[in-house]
Amino acid sequence: MKKRNIFYQTITFFTIISALFFTSCERDPNILEPADYPVDPEVFIDGFSSGLNYAAFGGSKVTAFDVVTDIKYKGTSSMRIEVPDFEDPQGAYAGGAYFTNVGRNLSGYDALTFWAKASQPANIDIVGIGNDLGQSKNLATITGLAVNSNWKKYIIPIPDPGRWTAERGMFFYSEGPENDKGYTIWFDEVQFEKLGTIAHPRPFILNGQDQTTIAAVGQTLNIGDIYVLYNMPDGTDERVNVSPTYFTFTSSDESVATVNESGQITVIAMGTAKVTAKFGSMDATGSITVNVEELPDPAPAPTVPAANVISLFSNAYTNVPVDTWATGWLYSTAVLTELQINGDDVKLYTNLNFNGIEFASQTIDATTMTHFHMDIWTPDPTNLPAAFNVLLVDFGADGVFGGGDDVSHEVTFTANTTPALATREWVQLDVPLSAFTGLTTREHLAQLVISGDPNTVYVDNVYFYKEDGGTVTEPTEPAPTPTFSAADVISLFSNPYTNVPVDTWSAVWDQADVADVQIEGNDTKLYTNLVFAGIEFINQTVDATSMTHFRMDIWTPDPTALPAIFKIKLVDFGADGAFGGGDDVEHELTFDANSSPPLVTSEWVSFDIPLSDFTGLTTRGHLAQMIISGDPNTIYVDNILFHK
């Protein structure tokens, strides 16, 4: 059955958000041998076994599980799981763990068995044992378990029963909708058994591959794709994914790299070390040879002016917020290490197949940018068919994945492209955004996905920029000339009109510097070091009661992508014309890259705002102050006026 593509969003199965506890009546334990912990093989027969509890997983539909009597394989009752539809507000999937507070001695058994059926043919994402809601060192799972509308017995082998002397994790499951639709699963006769017919275990690490990787001193690597293949009683082979702790890992040279019980390799010094594993006395198929080499030279320093850049990662610029540089999406094997090369921060990805970089909480507006830039360095072969892919994803105006307005496009680089992939050289991927043809909008960029054949990649200087032929620190042309009739205008500052008196363009209490400049003969105010600036016209307050709009033109060389904001506040002192007289009113409006009009860099922005938008400004007969503030710290200002 088709499952929804969860390439960009996955479920964390082992986070508990709430617990629904069910406890059965006491029953005599089926004692096989004396033990410190009870020997009770039953999980669910016609109800919960002694001391058994249930906890729903975080993000799951907590009401998905129930005990029912209308449908069962045997006896009086079964466990029913109601898998929710896609986008069910009560939960994205069904999932939970059955566990005990006191461990059980299950070392005399070799499998958990259960009967299951479903309301339709389906493949259950995960069923397993050993999830104790803690470290779960005895975890063993089967993925994609095929079920249909007929009762069938299923078996989950215990990889090493000798470890199961005090186990609390009896059974767990996790399943999402099929083809976006929910359905029902029933489990019955869930118990541990000694079958004696599970044979020929074959252990694997790294999916059975002998891998070689380049690493740097201080880097950590995680061994994945760990499983045991069993010959089952029906003659088929069953893959059981297991915790690394079932294996014993060994490094051929611990002076170069060590490996712990969780399969985490720590690189210590230059040299070569091969990491292998055993499952009991059996050698596991698969290994990883770690070649520890010197770091590359730093990437070339960027030369694009900061005013023209939206930077995700570069020491040369101020970076915008990024939620994560390694999303850990399902099936991604990429491992991220943060490094410094001669003081320059660098991202190192190893075991890269694909990796998500996400900035969804504060999306990026790159509508004024012309190029995407990323520097990469790899020690891996880059001759064909090696390829490196860069995918950009825009979440659309709703700012969420899967909202119906998402767009994306992927660009591929090889040894034959321009620029060309190369080995042991910094390659500057400098790509016109127009090359991302499917990226029809760039106002809410939220994800960057890298993937490809070079499996070890150093990354630096990831940014968007605007190519305009040089440093842009000041406007090259004046603000647009207003065309309102002078009879319909009260102007504070604009060459086409006669301006009313203004006491000061930078009050003594503000934090800003102001200068008078001319752009092609047009008078303009330049604010630098702006935190907030007070513009006062108290001696002759302005009566704008007959005006309908406020107008101001601004130009900034500073980055205007979120979280940058610009604020305009108007203050009316009331009939007494004095600050703090009890009849003062005011209102402040905030503008950013997503507002209307939006903030942009190196362009004149005309704020032509209905005065009705200043909702707190309930009187406008004695306007006395205007305050501008925000994150753009350098701002050119012109055409400040009221009009009707």
What is the DSSP secondary-structure string of 296-334? PPPPPPP-S-GGGEEEEE-TTSPBPP-SBS----TT---
Q: How far is CA 245 from the centre of its chain?
A: 29
**pLDDT of 468:** 62
B/e letters for 515-549, b = 16+ CB within 10 Å, e = fewer, are eeeebeebebbbbeebeebbbbbbeebbebeebeb
Q: At 487, is the pLDDT very low, low, confident or very high (cuts 50, 70, 90)? A: very high
Work out the average pLDDT over 527-531.
91
Percent of the chain with pLDDT over 70: 94
> Token match 């360095």: residue?
377
Work out the average pLDDT over 465-494.
85
**What string of H, E and C letters represents the secondary structure of 156-225?**
EECCCHHHCCCEEEEEEEEECCECCECCEEEEEEEEEECCCCCEEEEEECHHHCEEEEEECCCCEEECCC
As a whole number, the mean pLDDT across the chain is 90
Higher pLDDT, 180 or 469: 180
Q: What is the pTM of this model?
A: 0.55
Work out the average pLDDT over 472-497.
91
CB proximity list for 596: less than 8 A, separation 6 or greater:
none
- Angle (nearest 5°) at CA 229 between 223 and 230: 150
Work out the average pLDDT over 472-489.
89
Cα(346)–Cα(353) distance, integer angstroms: 19
pLDDT in tens, 315-337: 999 999 999 999 989 889 888 88
pLDDT in tens, 106-117: 999 999 999 999
Q: How do strand 140-147 and strand 94-104 relate by DSSP bridges?
A: unpaired
**pLDDT of 469:** 47
The torsion angle over the Cα atoms of residues 589, 591, 597 and 598, rounded to 10 degrees, is 180
Does the structure show a pLDDT above 90 at 636?
Answer: yes
Cα(629)–Cα(591) distance, integer angstroms: 11
How are strands ordered across the β-sheet holding 354-358?
A: 354-358, 445-452, 388-394, 407-413
Q: How far is CA 346 from the centre of its chain?
A: 19
Helix/strand/coil for 435: helix
Encoded tokens for 287: 């290994």
Which of 10-24, 487-501, 518-532 has maximum average pLDDT?
A: 487-501
**pLDDT of 19:** 36
pLDDT in tens, 206-231: 999 999 887 878 788 889 899 999 99
Percent of the chain with pLDDT over 90: 74
Q: How many CB atoms lie within 10 A of CB 145?
A: 20
**pLDDT of 639:** 97
Work out the average pLDDT over 144-167.
96
> Token match 């390694």: residue?
326
How many CA atoms lie within 13 Å of 109's alpha carbon, on the beta-carbon side? 25
Q: Say how many Å lie between the first and final Cα of the chain, rounded.
A: 63
**pLDDT of 93:** 95
**pLDDT of 488:** 96
323 Rama class: left (phi>0) / alpha (psi -120 to 50) / beta: alpha
Residue type, 34: P
Helix/strand/coil for 462: strand
**pLDDT of 3:** 55
**pLDDT of 471:** 42
Helix/strand/coil for 244: helix
Residue type, 105: N
For CA atoms 384, 385, 388, 393, give the dihedral sign.
positive
Give all domains of the chain, ordered by start, each with its CATH number: 16-196 (2.60.120.430), 206-227+241-292 (2.60.40.1080), 306-465 (2.60.120.430), 486-643 (2.60.120.430)
pLDDT in tens, 435-444: 898 998 899 9
Does the structure show a pLDDT above 50 at 8?
Answer: no
How far is CA 569 from each of CA 55, 536, 540, rounded to the nearest angstrom? 52, 12, 18
pLDDT in tens, 14-68: 333 333 344 443 444 444 444 479 999 999 999 999 999 999 998 899 999 999 9
Residue closest to 215 by CA, chosen among 409, 382, 351, 418: 351
Work out the average pLDDT over 580-595.
92
